[in-house]
Amino acid sequence: MERKGLRWGILGTGGIANQFARTVLSVEGAELAAVGSRAAETAEAFGEKWGVPAARRFGSYAELAACPDVDIVYVASPHSHHAEHALQMLAGGKHVLVEKAFTLNAAEAEAVFAEGRRRGLFVCEAIWTRFLPANRQLAAFLEEGELGAPRMASAMFGNHFPDDMPLTHRIYAPALGGGALLDMGVYPMSWLSMIARDETPETVRTTGRLFAPTGCDESSTVVCGYGSGLTAVSSCSIKVNYPDEGVICCERGRVRAPSFWRAEGFSVWYDDGREREFRPGCDRLGLRYELISVTEDILAGRTESRVVPPSATLCVQRILEAARLSLGFRYDREKTEKEEENAKA
């Protein structure tokens, strides 16, 4: 009998892992088969909450990787460990859907995709914004060219995280991949890259500031210039609430996408005075669109996503990395031996 779904394992038990577990249970044919955690207690609690079979509540990631009853693993650990854990699951013969931002930097992303290709396994970034019906319709609408070529686009995403939040929280901690760009900036950057058809920008210019207590990036604005004539401006922050709106100005009109990262629709204004509304809507469990798309790809024998192929993820990773490095922020494992020696001096 032909299978209609996949057996999912979840690596990690944090907030996004819980959201994904809820989503798996909402999709017909999908099975929440296993969970892996760093500790047996948290795996047990997570499994009890979401109905994971008792025998597959693993207190180690190695056990999850070795489990024969899992087809694909959703990697929901901190950014700092995405590459390590994705490679571990691939070594165990599992397809992987890796939470955004995909990895700390482009080199790690390239290594994960290369290993997936070597093993013939599916690898995809879980940037769920791109899978939403409204954003897929927007990309198709722009491709049709009714408004002409996009010339200016902007998007911003910022939250004021509590001032009394511990500095050890992942959002502030460099050791956990902290900072605004990987947590918040990936949303507007990926959306804008979609508008640019994932073309590599000719120029990337960044301004911003670092979070003094820990040194991670606190806020930034990145301006990308493309050979197509498009200028894209992305802003993010972990200390300021931004309006999460996307705007695209084209040769013959403009587009406004309220809450672009969880879009339910978008509005179009033509230079001749006409207006149009596109409202495909969005399920409250927005992660289900990526889950369904990934399932379709894998069951069809594909090893790359039709919506977010490796080229799209790599393009965004390179921009995020260039922006972060221009602010003077490097993660520890990116530092040269000389830099580490100076830091200890």
Q: Which residues of the chain have pLDDT under 70?
A: 1-3, 336-345
| Identical topology for domains 7-126 and 130-284+309-320 | no
Strands 150-158 and 231-237: parallel
Q: Which of the listed CATH numbers 3.40.50.9100, 3.40.50.720, 3.50.50.60, 3.30.70.100 matches domain 7-126? A: 3.40.50.720
pLDDT of residue 1: 40
Output the 3-class SS for the chain.
CCCCCCEEEEECCCHHHHHHHHHHHHCCCCEEEEEECCCHHHHHHHHHHHCCCHHHEECCHHHHHHCCCCCEEEECCCHHHHHHHHHHHHHCCCEEEEECCCCCCHHHHHHHHHHHHHHCCCEEEECHHHHCHHHHHHHHHHHHCCCCCEEEEEEEEECECCCCCCCCCCCCCHHHCCCHHHHHHHHHHHHHHHHCCCCCCCEEEEEEEECCCCCCEEEEEEEEECCCCCEEEEEEECECCCCCEEEEEECCEEEEEECHHHCCCEEEEECCCCEEEECCCCCCCCCHHHHHHHHHHHHCCCCCCCCCCHHHHHHHHHHHHHHHHHCCCCCHHHCCHHHHHHHHC
* CA distances to 116, 279, 334 from 140, in Å: 28, 14, 38
Q: For residue range 182-235, what is the model confidence (pLDDT) as tens digits?
A: 999 999 999 999 999 999 999 999 999 999 899 999 999 999 999 999 999 999
Q: What superfamily in CATH does domain 130-284+309-320 come from?
A: Dihydrodipicolinate Reductase; domain 2 (3.30.360.10)
**Which residues are known to be catalytic?**
100
pLDDT of residue 184: 96
pLDDT of residue 311: 98
pLDDT of residue 2: 57
pLDDT of residue 344: 56
pLDDT of residue 107: 97
pLDDT of residue 84: 98
Contact yes or no for 75/22 (Cβ under 8 A): no
Contact yes or no for 307/194 (Cβ under 8 A): no
Q: Provide the token pair at 11.
A: 């690596």
Extents of the domains making up the chain: 7-126, 130-284+309-320
